[in-house]
Structure formats: C-alpha cells, structure tokens
Amino acid sequence: MKKKNIRPKKVAYLKRKDPPYNFLGLPKKYVDYKKSAIVVQLFPYEGTVSYTTGTSKGPRAIIDASRFIEDFDVYSKKSFKALGIHTSAPLNPSKKYSKPEPYIEKVYQQTLKCVKDKKFIISLGGEHSVSSGIIKAFHEFTPKLSVLHIDAHGDLRDSYEGTNYSHASALRRVSDLVKTVHVGMRTLSQDQWDYVKKNKIKMFFAHELHEKPTKDWVNEVVTSLNKNVYISIDTDGLDPSIIPATGTPEPGGLEYIELIELLREVAKRKNVVGLDIMELAPKEDFVYSEFTCARIAYQMIAFKYGRKDRK
C-alpha cells in the first residue's frame, strides 16, 4: 500500500507580487494616498535586537495576514475600508544591521509627511527603536500629546550596547519629549526604576493589573493620559501564549481581550493620533502571531472611526 504523505503543508503565504498587496488586500479604489484617511507604514528595521532575530520580517508577515481579516467590524457593525487605507512601500534599511540613527531619521521624515497630511498613521515593525522617530514627528505637530506604551520591558535605558537609540532605549528618547504611560511591564532594571521614580512616570506592572478587574485598571490608565494619545505596542506586552513570535518573550503578559478593552476605552475618551506594533519576529507555524497583530491594527481603526459620536 502506498504511504500517505502526512507532513503538514508549508504555510501558503500570498506572494508579495500577488495583487492587491496592501493592508487588508484592498482594491485600488480604497488605497490612493491622497484620498486615504489612514496610512500604514512598514519599517522592516532590525539593527540592535538582543535575543532572537527576525523582526525585519515582521511588517511583511502582518500585511500577509491582514489580507485574511474581514473588514466588517463586529463591535460597530460597520466596515471602514471606504475611509481609504494606503500602505506605504517598506522603508528598507540601506543594509542589514545598520546603525539606528540614520534609519530613525528616515522614519521621522516619512512620518512627518503623513502627520502634515493629517493621516491616521499605523506603523508596523521592525524593532522598537523606530518608534522614537515616529513619535518625534507627532510631537512637533500635536499639542497635549502623551504616549501609551504597551510592553513587557521599560525600554527606558539611557543607552544600551553603545547607542542611545537601541530598542532598549526607545521610550527613553520618547520620554525626553512627551509624557509616557507604561502598561504590562514585567521586567525592569534598577537604573530604569530609579528613573521612573525620579520622574514620576506612570508604570502599570502586569502582576498588579492581574489583581484588579480589567475595567478598573483600564479606567486608571486612560485617566492618566493627555488629550491626544499615540499608542506604541511591543508585541511582548501581550502574553507569549498569544504572540509567541517575538524576540524576548516574557511570561505573565496581557490577555488579548484586556488589550482590546484598553484600546477601546482610549479610543472612546481620547483622540488617538497613531499606533505602532513593533517587534514581531515571525516564526513558521505561528501565523496566529501576525494575524493577531493585523487584527489589533484593524480593531484600532474600527474603534477610532466607529465611535458613536462620529458620523
């Protein structure tokens, strides 16, 4: 008897050249830059990662996965594709493992254009250091800006491995500019803790959140934010059982639904100007990691534009 081939098939990614290659796989009429309210930026940069590698492949994997997301939103019972969602060409670094400063400068320039054009900007990474370039651009045009940072790590080191722009310093550069609120923290160093205390930075540790009802801590977090909010998500802010494909997985993170409740409440009470999802390092057979990232990105769009006070 002939043996059956029981090896699982490889994941069938859509190929880059398969049209339409953009966030959600939208037809042409919904993706024109000028007509789009939303821009998705792709930053496949990986220069200062510490533990496991692969985050340069993050944006591509999220775009691939997004093509399987339904555009009808179950919270608002609406679709948001008619707002227009433009996906920028990936900003490729000049070479692999190049220094962060020149790349972050390019990130800043590209984002600045979108900010001036009043787009709602979603950025996909790539390592977390690029967020400082994005936020710098927002900072210049957005009064009363605060940053909601979701991460297992503080990312508040003054410098790390010889650079002030490492992924481990991403939020330190940001906190030099604007108010930052940190959620889902599980790991920190003494020097970062000293900095947090000295500067009275709001930090919500995951183990403290797990002791409280979601509604209560979500309310506390949102109350601590300014009127305009930029959201920066490191995928390791979520529990690694939800997003295992990340460089430094830390146990005890946020549940998916907790994160969604937080995003929903922020979108309801504040003006969310942009969102990034960083540090996805795709691993074969863990496609639910990138699918979850794509889902979070679209859910944010739905929460922002699906508010009952918007027509």
Interface ranges with Mn ion (CB under 5 A):
151-153, 234, 236
Least distance between Mn ion and beta carbon 236 (Å): 4
Q: CA–CA separation, 43 vs 147, rounded Å?
A: 19
Residue 139: in which H helix or E strand, if any? Answer: helix 131-141
Q: Which residue, 110 or 232, has its beta carbon nearer to Mn ion?
A: 232
Q: CA–CA separation, 263 vs 274, rounded Å?
A: 12
Least distance between Mn ion and beta carbon 136 (Å): 20
CA distances from 261 to 10, 26, 236, 296 (A): 34, 27, 18, 11
Q: Which residue, 64 or 234, has its beta carbon nearer to Mn ion?
A: 234
Least distance between Mn ion and beta carbon 5 (Å): 40
Q: Which residue, 51 or 89, has its beta carbon nearer to Mn ion?
A: 51
Least distance between Mn ion and beta carbon 279 (Å): 6
Contact indicator for 139, 178 with CB cutoff of 8 Å = yes
Reply yes or no: is the peptide bond before residue 126 cis, omega within 30 of 0: yes
Q: CA–CA separation, 63 vs 21, rounded Å?
A: 8
Least distance between Mn ion and beta carbon 154 (Å): 9
Q: Which residue, 259 or 302, has its beta carbon nearer to Mn ion?
A: 259
Least distance between Mn ion and beta carbon 22 (Å): 28
Q: Which residue, 119 or 172, has its beta carbon nearer to Mn ion?
A: 172
Contact indicator for 45, 131 with CB cutoff of 8 Å = no
Q: Which residue, 57 or 157, has its beta carbon nearer to Mn ion?
A: 157
Edge-to-edge strands of the sheet including 120-125? 85-87, 38-43, 120-125, 271-278, 228-234, 145-150, 179-185, 202-205
